[in-house]
Structures are given as C-alpha cells and as structure tokens.
Chains A and B, each alone.
Chain A
Amino acid sequence: MSFPWAQHYEPKHPFMRYLDERLPLPRLVYNAIGGGYPVPRNLNYFWNFGVLSGLALVLQILTGVILAMHYAANQTVAFQSVEHIMRDVNWGWMLRYMHANGASFFFIVIYIHIFRNLYYGSYKAPREMVWLLGLVIFLLMMATAFMGYVLPWGQMSFWGAKVITSLFGAIPVVGQSIQVWLLGGYAPDQAALNRFFSLHYLLPFVIAGVVILKIWALHIPGSSNPTGVEVKSESDTVPFHPYYTAKDGFGIGVFLLLYVVMVFFAPNYLGHPDNYIEANPLSTPALIVPEWYFWPFYAMLRAFTVDFILPAKLWGVLAMFGSIILMFFLTWIDRSPIRSTNYRPLYKPFFWIWIVDVLVLGYCGGSHAEEPYLMISQIATMYYFAHFLIILPIVSTIERPKPLPNSISESVLHGEEKESAPFGAGGVMPGTEPQPAE
C-alpha cells in the first residue's frame, strides 16, 4: 500500500519497459526507497538511523565473509588464525578492525534507533509489527554479536561464553541438560566454537530476511514522524528520492567519519585487553565482562544477589531476558494514543529518567561486581522494571497531553521542526501558541 498520491514507476527506456513486464525489480526498488515512497516531510536526523543500521549490516556481512575465508574455527588454531589475519593477510588488519568496531557501531546505531522509536512512540498502532520485527532483529543481533566475540578464542571469548551459557543452567530441572546440549560439552571447547562459527555466519542472513519483512511492514502505514500526527494530505509528504536519499547520504558520511576514527585511530578502545590473551580454561580473568553493548543487561543479571523463593541466579536470568521481552508488550502497556513524547508532559520526565537509568546500568555492568555498584544497579534495575510495568500504564491513563498540531504541514509551517521549516519561519513550539496560524 502507499498513499494515493504516490508517484508511479514509468520506465522510459525500452529495455526497462521490457524488464518491468517480466521482472519488476526496478519497480520494487522505486516503490520501496525511490520516488514512489511518500515520506513525511518533517523527519529529523533521528530518522537517519534506519538506513544507517542497514549500512552497518551490509558492512558486517561484507567484512565478515572475507574474514571467514582466513579464519579457522578450531580451538587449537583460532587465536593464531586471527593473528594471521592481522599480520599476514593483505588488508586483514583493516577488515578485522572494521568488523570488530562495526559490531559496536551497529549497536550504537540500533540503540539510537530504539531511542527514537521510544521517544516518538513509533511502536504504537499502526506500526506494532514494525516494532516487533525490530525487536526480533535486536535479539538476533545480540546472539550474533555474542557468538562473534567467542570466535577469536581469547580469554574474554572463552570466559564470556562460559558465563553466558551457564545462564541456561539456572533454568530449573532441565537447565543443566540444555546447557550441555547448547555447548556440546560441559565447558566451551571445539564443539561450541565450531557451532558458534556456523551460527555466526548464518544469523546475519536471517537478520537480512527479517529486515525485508520489517521494511515491508513499514511501507504499509508509512514512516512515523516527529509530531506523531499521521500523514493527511500530499503536502505532508515528499518522495523518498531525492529528498531523503540526499539526507541519508549526508547521514552516511557522518556515520562513516566517526567509524573511520575508531577503526584507524582507536581500534581496540572498545575491546578488552584480555581478549589478546589466548583462551585458557585454567586461568580465570580478574573481571569477566561482556562487550559494552551488553553491560546494562549484565548489570541487571548481577543485581539479583539474594535467593528469594527462586535462586538469585534464576531471578537475574529472568530479569535480563524480561527486560527485553517486556518491550514486545510495549504497544499494549502504553495506552496513550499520543505518539511523540513532546506532547506528553507527564511521561517526558519519566522517559528521561529511564534513559539515565540505562546509562547507569551500563556503567555498573562494566564494573566489578562489588559495592557500591551492586546497590546502584539494584536501584537502577528496580526503576527499569517499574518504569515500564508500573509507571507507564498509570501515567498513560491519567496524563493530559498537550494539543497536537492539526497536520504535519501545519507544524512544519510553525517552524517546529527547524530542519524542514520554511525559510523565515521562527521556532514556535506547540503549546506555546494558543491558536494555530492560518
């Protein structure tokens, strides 16, 4: 589906007409990311991150496929094969640093993308399916990243794998059997490494498949926008190409600039030094931490220190998975029909507390499991769950939202979104002006 005023694909060259009648692939592209996809005209830079996450996925697959030509998934030589890539393979060092930092940048982009979704309420009807598919991609990404981190077979690879797979051991009765089944043994070794490599190669293509479903689902209602008001007329939209291809081009430039700075000037900054020590099952590192993008979840896992009905470890595992599972129900937990947090005065402060809360959890997750970090992460985990499960349902019921603009065009005319505002329009915010102009 698209809006009735969407431009139609009209092949001009005879060959394109010939092709269109037999394999309408150019038509598909035109309607998906070309002139045939009308997009709200008021999108801000936060709407760049969908395209950027697609770029990050492509970068990971391209570099990963080449790295896999030189990597050996065998516990006796895996570490050596990574050093072989770093030293003897042409451009191997660059590919590996691009891949390792690419994972971090993928998560940075995805986290900003999720932030945008939560702030502007993109998860609400009619875009629930886009949000749910996005969460599926996020879970697949986490699994892929975790298994990828095991492949270099350094100390943190080995001990990270051991800690994370032991989480399944917390499940009552069947936990131990599941853990042994997943690892193919009692501790990570050849069987685990080999299957992690296989799955690490497979899952990105599964992600690519879900991405196609997600874009498909997105094109039914069309993109959301910063006002949260749905598109009403042709003047609310612009064709994706050239307006947003141009804007995404600039976004890609900035993204690659930051990426290049990390890859070439601080390639190991986001990694852990212990992973340059070969895996040794007999020597436990002083501090076992996952990669930075898992820190908030790791902090929640470690926050449960007391057995209460269930063992502490099981509570931690439930909370860690629960923190993401609850996101699947967000559309039904948040009853407010207002999408953008800009118009939700009561919800807004709680939302920002939650953002700070996640950052605090991230800091605690990267620290030693000792006081005061445990106590801080206990409070922060409490807020995490209270925010979604207790505060949000109540706030969304009692809140009185600010008046919404009548349409996207009207809010643009007000200069509310500076980027798409017409020349000369001031920065009038909604709510400060009693009557809409015109």
Chain B
Amino acid sequence: MVRIIGFFVGLGFCLVLAIAFFTGAYNQITNPPAETAEKEFHLHPKPLALESNGPFGKFDRAQLQRGFQVYKEVCSACHSLKFVAFRDLKDLGYSDAEVKAIADQWVIQQPSINPDTGEPATRKSVPADHFPAPFANEIAARAANNNALPPDLSLMTKAREGGAAYVHSLITGYRDQPAELLKKFPTAKTPKGLHYNPYFANLNIAMPPPLVSDGQVQYTDGTKPTVDQMGTDVAAFLTWTAEPKLERRHGIGVAAFIFLLVFSVLTYMSYQNIWASKKRELAHS
C-alpha cells in the first residue's frame, strides 16, 4: 500500500516538475534573459595581501595606525564606527595617554544631556566611549548625502563578499564609465549624483571617490601616501575593526591544532594497540 501510494506521489511530483522544466526551457529559448551592464562590467575585487591574512597572520601595527588616520581624516566625516570604542585603539599600539588625547580631540562630540537643564547637549569623548556617529540619525545622514545612507564601517570587511580586498578595490576603483558600456547599453549611463565603480554590485555608487590624490593624508612614519597605499591601509584598519581578536584567534588556533594533532596520534596508536590482540587472536583461530 505504501509503495503504491508512494509510486503515484512520485509520479505526480515528476509530472509537475516536467511541466515546469519544459515551460522554463521554452521561455529560455523564446525569451532569453537580456544581458545587463552589471553582469558584463562588474569586476571582482583585486587580491590584497595584508599581514593579517593566512593562519599565522598578524596585524601590522604601523599600518593600522595609518589606516586609522585615513579613517579619521577622510571616512569619519560620513561613516560611523559604532562597535569600536576609543579604548580599543590601545590594540593599535597607542598608549593610554594617546588614546585619551584622541578621544578628547575627536571632532564629533558625544550626544549627552545637560546636567542642569536636562536639555540635549554634547560632550567630549572619553576612552570608554564608542566612536560617535557623524549624523544624529538616518534622516540627517540621508539629507546630507543626496539621499544615500553611509553605512557603519565597524563590520564592513566581514559584511561584504571579498572583505578587505573589496574595500580596497572599491575605494581605489573609481573611473570614467567605459565607452563600450555606453555603446552596448545606452540606457545604463551613470545617473547624476552617482559615480561609476566597476567593483560595486550595480556599478553606480552614491559615495563620491573618497581618496582623490596622493598625499591627501600626511603620514608621519615616512610611508608615501599614494591613493593605493591609503586604500590598503584603511582596508587593513577596517579588517581590525571587524575582527579585533584576529591575532588571538590565530594564536590559539595554532596551539589547539598542535594539541589535537598529538591527541589524535596518541589515540590512533592506542586504538591500534588495543585492536592488535584481537586481530592476532583471529589470525590464529
């Protein structure tokens, strides 16, 4: 009975799927999907070699400090970093006093309440504070940015396919729209207020090119601030903001791996040892 019912259920599913298959195939032939500019001109991020890559990767502290400087002087005008606290900057090699000074001198102030009147007010940041957002709310952010919302950057390198390489490619990948694109897709011209960027999923991004010229940020450690260098540094910095425990993770991972390797070898040897008598006994039976 089960087999007969099952047989007809199976036949029913197969019939419906066959109809769906032939309908799909017919549509595919008579009405093939149009090619799109996004499909043809979208580029995958260029590989980016960072010190933190790989199972033994560690952060390059000097690079993180440079990346932080780029964030501070360029990105922070529009992008928040809400999951990172000033105290976390000690991981980049800053001393307590330096962290305190960075928090104190941060241009955007923390929202607070006037202790006397209860009115909304602002105050200077302290190391325990998280980075303050540049806009009070989403409406303010959109109003100031041509109706686009600058996303929070704390998790950016984990929230996009390609990670740090994507961030680097995106911020250094702005260019003029290729003539062949316009020739092939005349309606795909980048709309006014947007910017052509082949690394962005739909090719047109609201963010204007953030790094426009070499030397835009003055590094103090002698590194030449080319656009590519600044892009790499800020991508490294955002790798740290998204995964501050990366070094710890790698270190413990190596130790755990070695421990378990020894454990596995020992358990394998004891397994073989315990079974040896059983096998010998059988061979002699």
Contacts and interface: CB of A to CB of B under 8 A. Distances in A.
A287 B279 CA distance: 55
18 contacts: A83-B154, A246-B274, A247-B271, A249-B271, A250-B264, A253-B260, A260-B253, A260-B257, A264-B256, A273-B158, A273-B159, A304-B17, A306-B20, A329-B6, A375-B24, A382-B13, A388-B10, A393-B7
Contacts of A265: 55, 250, 253
B161 A86 contact: no
Interface string A361-396: 000000000110011001101100110111001000
Nearest to A376: B21
A3 B270 CA distance: 27
A54 interface: no
Given A388-B6, A412-B282, A261 B257 contact: yes
A174 interface: no
Interface of B: 2-3, 6-7, 9-11, 13-21, 23-25, 28, 33, 55, 83, 88, 151, 154-155, 158-161, 201, 242, 244-245, 248-250, 252-254, 256-257, 260-261, 263-264, 267-268, 270-271, 274-275, 278-280, 282-283, 285
B20 A322 contact: no
A390 B268 contact: no
B14 A382 contact: yes
Given A389-B7, A420-B275, A371 B249 contact: no
A332 interface: yes
Given A86-B245, A238-B278, A333-B6, A249 B20 contact: no
10 tightest Cβ-Cβ pairs between the two chains A and B: A264-B253, A389-B10, A253-B264, A422-B283, A276-B159, A249-B267, A422-B282, A250-B267, A378-B21, A306-B20
Contacts of A378: 17-18, 20-21, 24
A309 B181 CA distance: 45
B271 to A, nearest CB: 4
Given A260-B257, A421-B279, 13 more contacts: A94-B249, A243-B278, A253-B264, A257-B257, A264-B249, A267-B249, A305-B24, A375-B25, A389-B7, A389-B9, A390-B14, A393-B3, A393-B7
Given A304-B16, A422-B279, A390 B253 contact: no
Contacts of B267: 246, 249-250, 252-253
A249 B283 contact: no
Contacts of B6: 326, 329, 333, 388-389, 393
A215 interface: no
Contacts of A322: 9, 13
Interface string A314-326: 0100010010001
Report the interface size class on chain A.
35 or more
A30 B13 CA distance: 48
A312 interface: yes
Contacts of B21: 375, 378-379, 382
A242 interface: yes
B120 to A, nearest CB: 20
Nearest to B25: A375
A86 B20 CA distance: 46
Given A249-B271, A273-B158, A423 B260 contact: no
Contacts of B2: 329, 332-333
A405 B93 CA distance: 70
Classify the secondary structure of B's interface with A.
helix
B241 to A, nearest CB: 10
A424 B279 CA distance: 10
A87 B244 contact: yes
Contacts, number: 175
A389 to B, nearest CB: 3
A335 B151 CA distance: 59
Given A83-B83, A322-B9, A329-B6, A257 B261 contact: yes
A268 interface: yes
> Which residue, A273, A333, A423, A425, has most C-beta atoms of chain B within 10 A?
A273
B133 to A, nearest CB: 14
A426 to B, nearest CB: 12
A304 to B, nearest CB: 6
B184 to A, nearest CB: 21
Contact of B16 (A93, A252, A315): A315
Contacts of A235: 285
B260 A390 contact: no
B14 A386 contact: yes
A255 to B, nearest CB: 9
A390 B8 CA distance: 9
A201 B279 CA distance: 46
A243 B276 CA distance: 10
A16 B73 CA distance: 72
A24 to B, nearest CB: 27
A254 interface: yes
A390 to B, nearest CB: 5
A399 to B, nearest CB: 15
